Amino acid sequence: MIFVQQVIPYVALFFIFSGFFFLLVGVVGLLRLPDVYTRMHAMGKCDTLGTGMVLIGLMLLFADITNVTKLLLIAAMIATINPVVTHLIAKTAYNRGTPMAEGSFLINDYVASQRRRRRQPLVTEPEKGGDIC
C-alpha cells in the first residue's frame, strides 16, 4: 500500500508530461503544415489526447470522488465540443473554397459504393439467411 502511494505521483507525472508532449506536437504541426485543413489535423487532434492525458494525471493526483467527477465531465465536454468546432471550421473553409495544399488527391467512393449497394442484395441475402438459421 505504501509502495502504491509512493508510485502514484510518478505515474501521474508521466501522464501529465506525455500530455504536454502531445500538445507541443500540436503546436509544431500548426507551424509546419501547409494549409488550413492539415493544420487543423495537427491542432484539433493532439488536443484530444494531450488534454485527455493531462486530465488522467490530475485524476490520479486528486484521488477523491468529487474532483474525479468534475475532471471526467471536463473530459467529456472536450471530447464533444472539440470535434464539433473542428467540423464547423472545416465546413466553412470548404464551402468558401479555401484552396488546399498542392498535390491534394480526391477519392470519390460515393458512386462506386452506390453500385456496390445495388449489387449487394442479390449476393448476400441468401448467405445471411443461412447464417441465422
Partner 1 sequence: MFSRIRSDLFGALFIFSLLLAFWLLISASIHWQHILVGVIFCFILTIFWSNLTIAADIKTGFNLKQLFMLLKYFFFLGIDIVIANIGVALIVLNPKKPISPGIVIMRCDLERSLSRVLYVNSITLTPGTITVELEGNLLIVHALTEDVAHGVEDWALYRRLQEVEGIYNNG
The residues in 3-42 that bind partner 1, with binding defined as CB under 8 A, are 22, 25, 28-29, 32-35, 37-38, 40-42
- The string of DSSP codes covering 43-78 is HHHHHHHHHHHHHHHHHHHS-SHHHHHHHHHHHHHH
When the beta carbons of 70 and 119 are compared against partner 1, the nearer one is 70
65 binds partner 1 (CB under 8 A): yes
CA distance 11 to 5: 11
61 binds partner 1 (CB under 8 A): no
**Distances 23 to 2, 27, 97, 101, 106 between C-alpha atoms, Å:** 33, 6, 29, 24, 30
When the beta carbons of 2 and 111 are compared against partner 1, the nearer one is 111
CA distance 115 to 110: 9
- Residue 125: how many other CB atoms lie within 10 Å: 10
80 binds partner 1 (CB under 8 A): yes
Spell out the residues 6+ positions from residue 105 whose beta carbon is closer than 8 angstroms to its own. Answer: none
44 binds partner 1 (CB under 8 A): yes
**Assigned C-alpha cell, 52:** 485527455
When the beta carbons of 53 and 60 are compared against partner 1, the nearer one is 53
114 binds partner 1 (CB under 8 A): yes
Contact residues: partner 1, CB under 8 A: 22, 25, 28-29, 32-35, 37-38, 40-42, 44-46, 48-49, 64-66, 69-70, 79-80, 82-84, 86-87, 90-91, 94-95, 100-101, 103-110, 113-114, 117
